[in-house]
Amino acid sequence: MSFFRILLYLMLFSTVLSAQQVDYSLTDKKAAQIPGSQTQNPEAIASYINATFQTEQERIRAIFYLTATLLEYDLSLLKDGEGASPEANIAYGLTHGKGVCQHYAEIFAAICQKVGIKAHVVDGYSRQSESSQFVSHAWCAAFIDNSWSLYDPTWSSGYVEKRIFHPKFTNEYFQVQPAEMIKTHMPFDPLNEFLRMPVTRDEFNAGQFVKPSATRPFNFTDTLMAMQQLPEIERLKETYTRIERNGTVNAFTRLRLSYLKQEIAVLKQNQLASQFNDAVTLVNEGVNGYNVFISYRNNRFKPEKPDSVVKSMTDKPESQLKEALVILKGLKPADAYVRKSIAELINSVTNALYELTEQQAFLKRYLNTEKSRRKELF
């Protein structure tokens, strides 16, 4: 399926967000020495980083530097409202050496994951200053030194002047603390704020980042862990609910909710199709097993088999057909044609079980009869 992506615009902001300034010049210099042949995919870049740098901190810095400097921001890519999959964006960005914030963010997250650092893309919107308009944006979160910090390789890559991109790497958006990042970056999902006192969209819009002391703290760490255990469709539902409840819904949020709703619908449809196919497989196996038994009975149970084996020849098909029936009765499709197909299959399975019950009744008499007189039953 194709993935909807909101237009993501390059934003540059001059205020220093990093909580501390560290000299990364040596790390950046080593990262810049990566051979061009190793910059075509996340796996090759990760291999170079793991071989060149020893600590997790050095590695994530090298990933950030390379992501911000290997790509040039391409405003022409903003014309397309329909985005590609993350895999396609990553391939395009590294092959062509250009992209927009979605490319930067997905490349950064992908290399982190290949290196062994937990990271993911954060989608949302941002602003340059209190007076500026909001624009769609994407950045990243990574788990380093037992805590979450935020990274924006797009904002650190350079600046745009008169619609021309000028590469100029900056350290300002590397490993930013959540309490600082929220001043300019508003994620759709409040979980990605990584704050015990999440900021609502209304508060972000008004520039209010300090919560009243009486505000109930949010345990985002436990929520993140719980989310990782959920099936994908349940994770999306939880995300949808959090986004919907986090303040007034604006145009960006409305688009995001619409996208999530579509994705949930597709997953539901795929889930239903998978369950239906599982039921059909069980029905086919059950019917095939039943036919094998009928053939064996027509042959007067020759060659002879142990009674336990003969009994299993009806028990197993019965179990398969009943399991299929449970699955089919649990399916609730919206499409009338699909509902009709399921109803017809349920009717067929019910009839097959009735016929199987009759065979089991005969088999019970057969097995309860002395072996010397069993032939009389045929």
Distance in angstroms (rounded) separating the CA atoms of residues 248 and 339: 38
The domain segmentation of the chain, as residue ranges, is 25-187, 268-377
> Which pair of structure tokens corresponds to residue 56?
């997790």
d(CA 67, CA 37): 15
The pairs formed by 129-136 with CB atoms below 8 angstroms and a separation of 24 or more are: 129/13, 130/207, 134/186, 134/205, 134/250, 134/252, 135/8, 135/9, 135/11, 136/6, 136/7, 136/8, 136/9, 136/252
Tell me which amino acid residue 323 is.
E
Q: Determine the longest span between alpha carbons in the chain, in angstroms.
A: 100
Fold agreement between 25-187 and 268-377 = no
Contact between residue 60 and residue 117 where contact means Cβ atoms under 8 Å apart: yes
CA distances from 250 to 85, 134, 205 (A): 25, 10, 10
CB of 188 closer than 8 Å to CB of 244: no
Right CATH for 268-377 from 2.40.128, 1.10.1660, 1.10.150, 1.20.58:
1.20.58
**Closest by CA position to 272, among listed 215, 341, 210:** 341
CB–CB of 38/48 below 8 Å?
yes
The single residue listed with the structure tokens 């997953």 is 267
Query: Using CB atoms within 10 A of its CB, is residue 30 exposed (0-12), middle (13-18) or buried (19+)?
Result: middle
Q: For the chain (length 378 residues), average pLDDT per consecutive 10?
A: 35 40 91 95 97 97 98 82 80 94 97 97 87 86 95 94 91 95 95 94 88 72 90 95 92 93 94 95 96 94 93 96 96 90 95 95 93 87
- 154: nearest Cα among 70, 48, 49: 70
> Residues 328, 345: contact at Cβ < 8 Å?
yes
pLDDT at position 129 is: 66
d(CA 346, CA 276): 11
- What are the phi and psi torsion angles at 186 (to 5°)? -110, 105
Q: Which CATH architecture has domain 25-187?
A: Roll (3.10)
Q: What CA–CA distance (Å, rounded) separates 251 from 341? A: 40
pLDDT of residue 315: 96
